[in-house]
Structure 1
Amino acid sequence: MGNRISRRTKSKASAESSNGESFDYSDGATSTHSTPKFPDLPFALSEVETARQRNEHFLLKHVFQKSYFAPIDNLLEQENSNVAILDYGSGVCFTWIVEMANDFPNTMCYGLNLFKVPDTEDFPHIPPNLHFDKANILQGIDHSSDSFDFIHQRNMVHLYHGDDISFIIGEMMRLLKSGGYVELVEYDIMPKRAGPLFSRLFECVFHYLKSQQKYLFQGPKLKRFLQQGGFQDIKAEYVSIPVCWGGYMGKLMYENILAGVRHLGPIIYQDLFKSDADFDEKHFEEYVDKAFDECVEYKTYSNIHWAYGRKPT
């Protein structure tokens, strides 16, 4: 499968989009961050993480009341077509792309993951129009240019370094057919209307991510990244999700955040408590419990953003 673009062919200092425009990450600077990519899994491939990703999928489907926002309904419903879609970073469960393959049997669906490709034991009933790929997306995707009508990606904030963003957006542009759509979905890392304990907790999470990634691929910047990447007809919006209150959604959001916070606990512990002490799980859990209790009192919520854009014809 030809026309593969290697990450190694890109200049390390380059932060230029496919249309020659320089990527502006947060403060007008371009990143030259060169930390080795993916030295470890961002989240351990455990039963807990598998359950978290699956539950998060159904949380977002409940919140959005749809699987995508881009105007591609007529395209996906065509019979005997050559329509192809790509889920760019499918996670452990591949849930989104599996559902799309079942919902649109005439569409060729590809799920791409960095770490694991499921086998028949994971998915005993794989739809015939579904294909799984494993690849380091920062080294380029082994598909020809102009291969896909739609590319979907979500929840990659913990994977991309600042200087990866221009390459990733450019690679999506390469892979899309003329007039095809890309859609991105990401959280705003910092919660809204949070109490002091919950705010402090997420300040530490934010500090850690910034120390690792320099500039973050987070929700509020999706529209800007698509604009700088040369996409057209861009639309962006966000939905607010309650944390620990508001019924079913608040419960799912609590469980989703809790799993992530517990994973990062040993990493952010010293920053959180301004101490050199070793990680104390009981001490940390007591803090986290109080922080989540605040969410009910303050009616804390988190925003998740989506944006889509069209490749010029």
Structure 2
Amino acid sequence: MSEADESVGADDHLPEDVEAVRAALVEWYEADHREFPWRRTDDPYEIHVSEVMSQQTQLSRVVTAWEAFLERWPTTADLAAADRADVVGFWSDHSLGYNNRAKYLHEAAGQIESEYGGEFPREPDELAELMGVGPYTANAVASFAFDNGDAVVDTNVKRVLYRAFDVPDDDATFERVAADLMPEGESRVWNNAIMELGGVACEKTPECDGESCPWREWCHAYETGDFTAPDVPTQPAFEGSRRQFRGRIVRTLGEHDELPLDVLGPRIRVDYAPDGEYGREWLRGLLSDLADDGLVRVEERDDETVARLQ
């Protein structure tokens, strides 16, 4: 047994035959998994776009948007040269949520071109220097583009580890167990495989037998019948949310050079009333959020407030 395997075996939350656990998961994944187009590429730009789009968005909706985005801006050079309003407008039109992600993606493309000579950095720490790229996205790009990442720990992975190996609901412990479990130098296949397990077999309502979960013989939840999982914050409802109306503002302003508040208001909400609950003050609040994100400019002119895209 290697030093790495001795280290893994020492973790109280993992079974002794870790190599069998690893092999079972990889074999299960490679035999059959969901086909997403970004799983068929190792282009870091294409993977970066997929990761940003996939944040709190159903993957089935991401596929069409991802393909259309890359057809329009196939390289970082193309995206960096694009008008930011066009990128934000695309994002809003495809209901990808939180338009500042589009702004950050556009700015990150500019960084790649101006600071890195058009080449993505390979290390997670360097990738995290890109605009809007946090530790999770940096590690995902390093893993899937360069096979050079650490163990990914997202909601699905936490659920799997909690159920399979009785790992307590503690972020530091999840990180440690996930790192100990991942085979060294195989972040691409491993992170895809364990996220797939959480996405199809170990969902909130598990499908252990239906999806032939490869970890049933080691799984604490399968043995005990206790399929509870860590409490995970749910995404707020989109319909009627401030996020929805911010998206409508961006789309509407994308169709016009600029609009006064009382012209913009009725275009995004049928019950807009200047002095009502959903009136000027409500609209100013939404515009203020968008201005803070660098997406919208608000100007006062001749006793009239006018909004336009940045």
Q: Which has the higher contact order (CA 8 A, sep 6+)?
A: 1
> TM tier, shorter chain?
under 0.3
Instruction: Output the TM-score relative to the length of structure 1.
Output: 0.25
Structure in which a larger fraction of residues adopt helix = 2
The normalised TM-score by structure 2 is: 0.25
